[in-house]
Structure 1
Amino acid sequence: MKLLRPHPTPPPPPTPGDTLAEAQALHLDLGPHRILHGITLPVRAGELLALVGPNGAGKSTLLAALAADLPATEGAVHIHGRPANEWTPPELALRRAVLPQAATVSFPFPVEDVVRMGRAPHDTSPAQDEAMVHEAMAATEVTAFATRPFSALSGGERARVALARVLAQQAPLLLLDEPTAALDLKHQELVLRICRDRARKGDAVVVVLHDLSLAAAYAHRVAVLHRGKVAADGPPKEIFTDELLSRVYDQPIEVLPHPTNGTLLVTPRRTTLP
C-alpha cells in the first residue's frame, strides 16, 4: 500500500518587522569566481526591499541565495529563522515564492493552468485554489487571455503570468528578479504597486530592479550592491545620493526631487546633445 506524505503546515502570518530571510556574512562562489563577499542583509515582513546596482554586482545571485536556490560557500542564509538547507522543498514552497528573470514553460499550457501551478504546495479545497488563481490573474491583468497558450504570449504578457503564479502561491516571502524588465510603463507601475500592496499586507518582498527611480518611488528600503558587497542599505531618500550612485555605476548621476510629489528622480548627468 502506498503511503501519502502529509502536506507540510503553512507558516503563521508574520508580524510586521519579523525577519523572514537573512544573509549572514554570506560569501558565495560560482565556479572559480567569488560573486558575493561577506553580505549581511535582513529581509523583514511588511517591507519592500529593492536590490539595485550595476550589471555583475551580484543582485540575482543574492536573490537566489535568499531563496535557498544557491548554497552559501561561507556564512549562512536563514529563512523564517532556520538555516535555509534545513527546510524541505515542500516547506520552502509554503514560505517563499520566487520569480526568475526568464519565465519558461516546456509545454503549451493555457495561462490559467500556469497560474494554477502556484497552488501546488497547498492542501486546500479546489474552490479556494480557484479563488486564489482568479484573484492573482485579475491583479496582474491577465484574465483576458486565460485560455491562450503560455507559449503564444509576448514577453511582457509572460512576465505578468509568471507573477500571477507567484502571487497565487501565497507565500509570505516574495523574491522577484527583474519583474519589470519586459514590461511597458503602465505595467511596470502595476507590478510595483502589487509589490507595495503585498508588503502593506504583511509580506516581505525583495525585488531586483534596474530602474532607480522606480526603486526610489516604491521601495521602503534599498540595498545598493557593488562588486559583490552592499555599498549602502536604507531608505532611498537617505542613501540615494549623487556621489554614491555615480561611484557605484561609474557614471555621473543626478538625484533630484520630483517637482510635484517630492519622490526622487534618478537620471544620468548628460551633456547637451547636438
Structure 2
Amino acid sequence: MNILRKLLTPQSRRPPAPVPAGEPAAEAAGLRVRLGGRPVLDSIDLTAYAGEVLALVGPNGAGKSTLLAALAADLPAGSGTVRIDGRPVTAWSAAELALRRAVLPQSAALAFPFPVEEVVRMGRAPWAGTDRAGEDEAAVASAMAATEVTGFAGRPFSALSGGERARVALARVLAQRAPLLLLDEPTAALDLRHQELVLRICRERAAAGDAVVVVLHDLGLAAAYADRAAVLHEGRIAVAGPPAEVFSGELLGAVYRQPVEVFPHPRTGVPLVVPERAP
C-alpha cells in the first residue's frame, strides 16, 4: 500500500487552506455537457458553499450524476466553467484536486480482494508527502467508526454485501478529509438505519465546514437534511433553494410526472413528499 500511495501522489504538496463558511467551494457557470453527441446539461449555474449540504434531486436521466461528475472535474465541460476553491478545475493538477474534493461514485468495484481497512486507507493516498500524512491512522479509524464498518475491517471488500460495500466506499471518502464531498446516491443500497446515518454524517461534515453535494432520489431525505436542493429537469435546474421553499406539489408533480402532495411534518415542519395514490 505504501508503494501504491507513492505512485499516486507526489511527495511535496501544501494542503489547501480551509474555505471559509459561506464561501463558494465549487461553482458551475453556464455549464453545458454533451455525452455521445446528446446534450445532457444545459446552462447550469450552481454554487456549493462551505458549511452546507446541497442535494441534487430529479428524475432518472435529469443529469444529476453528470452534474456531479462535472463538478468533480471527472467529466469535462463542453462549455462554461467549473471552479473548485476559486480556480477553474483545469488549473488544478489531478493531485491538487485530490486534496480539495473527494468523490463517491454510484458503484464501488475493486479488481483485487483488498481488506476493508486497506480500502478505507486508500482515501489517504493524496496526503502522502504532506504535513497531514501523520493523520492517516486517526482519519481511517474515525471514518470506519462513523460508517459502522470497524467490525469487519479485516474482511475482503469483495465478500461484503452491497450495503456494506457502500458504507466502506463512503468511509474511504471520509478518510480523505477533503473540504468538498461529492456523493452520488450514497443511500441507494442502504437500509433505513444506514440511510439516516449517512445523511447525519453529511450534516456533521457541513457543520465542520465542508461543502457536501449529494445526489438523492429520496425527496424526504433531501428535505430533512439538505440546506438547499437543486431540482434538475431535462438537463436544467428547474429551481434551487431551501427544500421548504422549493418543494411544492405542483413543481415536483410536473418534474417527476407523478402527482404528489407536499405537506409539513406535524412535529418538525420538514416537508413530506407523498405520491398521490388511488384509494
Please give the range of the TM-score, normalised by the shorter of the 2 chains: over 0.9
Matched, 1:149 2:192: no
Q: Give, in angstroms, the shift of residue 7 of structure 1.
A: 2.7
Report what 2:75 is aligned to.
70
User: TM-score when scaled to structure 2?
Assistant: 0.94
Q: Give, in angstroms, the shift of residue 8 of structure 1.
A: 1.9
**Alpha-carbon separation, structure 1, partners of 2:132 and 2:92:** 25
Q: Give, in angstroms, the shift of residue 87 of structure 1.
A: 0.5
Distance change (3 Å), C-alpha of 1:5 and 1:161: closer
In the alignment, residue 165 of structure 1 is paired with which amino acid? R
Report what 2:30 is aligned to.
25
Report what 1:212 is aligned to.
219
**Alpha-carbon separation, structure 2, partners of 1:7 and 1:31:** 39
Matched, 1:163 2:174: no
**Alpha-carbon separation, structure 2, partners of 1:22 and 1:171:** 16
**Alpha-carbon separation, structure 2, partners of 1:126 and 1:21:** 25
Q: Give, in angstroms, the shift of residue 10 of structure 1.
A: 1.3
**Alpha-carbon separation, structure 1, partners of 2:192 and 2:92:** 38
Q: How many residues align?
A: 269
Question: Alpha-carbon deviations, 1:43-74, whole Å to 9, x = none?
Answer: 10001000000000000000000000001001
For the 8 Å contact 2:48–2:213, the answer to whether it is kept is: yes
Q: Give, in angstroms, the shift of residue 6 of structure 1.
A: 3.5
Q: 2:48 aligns with which of 39, 43, 59?
A: 43
User: TM-score when scaled to structure 1?
Assistant: 0.96
Matched, 1:199 2:235: no
**Alpha-carbon separation, structure 2, partners of 1:54 and 1:111:** 33
**Alpha-carbon separation, structure 2, partners of 1:46 and 1:228:** 26
Unaligned runs of 5+ in 1: none
Alignment of 1:112-123 (within 5 A): 112-122=117-127, 123=130
| Counterpart secondary structure, 1:256 | strand
Q: Give, in angstroms, the shift of residue 125 of structure 1.
A: 6.7
**Alpha-carbon separation, structure 2, partners of 1:192 and 1:171:** 17
In the alignment, residue 161 of structure 1 is paired with which amino acid? V
In the alignment, residue 50 of structure 2 is paired with which amino acid? A
Tell me the percent identity.
68
In the alignment, residue 39 of structure 1 is paired with which amino acid? I
Q: 1:188 aligns with which of 191, 195, 207?
A: 195
For the 8 Å contact 2:10–2:95, the answer to whether it is kept is: no
In the alignment, residue 58 of structure 2 is paired with which amino acid? G
**Alpha-carbon separation, structure 1, partners of 2:10 and 2:47:** 33
Alignment of 1:231-246 (within 5 A): 231-246=238-253
Q: Give, in angstroms, the shift of residue 86 of structure 1.
A: 1.1
Matched, 1:248 2:255: yes
Matched, 1:225 2:256: no
Q: Give, in angstroms, the shift of residue 263 of structure 1.
A: 1.2
**Alpha-carbon separation, structure 1, partners of 2:33 and 2:133:** 41
Question: Alpha-carbon deviations, 1:115-143, whole Å to 9, x = none?
Answer: 00000011357652111100000000000
In the alignment, residue 152 of structure 2 is paired with which amino acid? F
Matched, 1:34 2:36: no
Unaligned runs of 5+ in 2: 1-8
**Alpha-carbon separation, structure 2, partners of 1:239 and 1:15:** 26
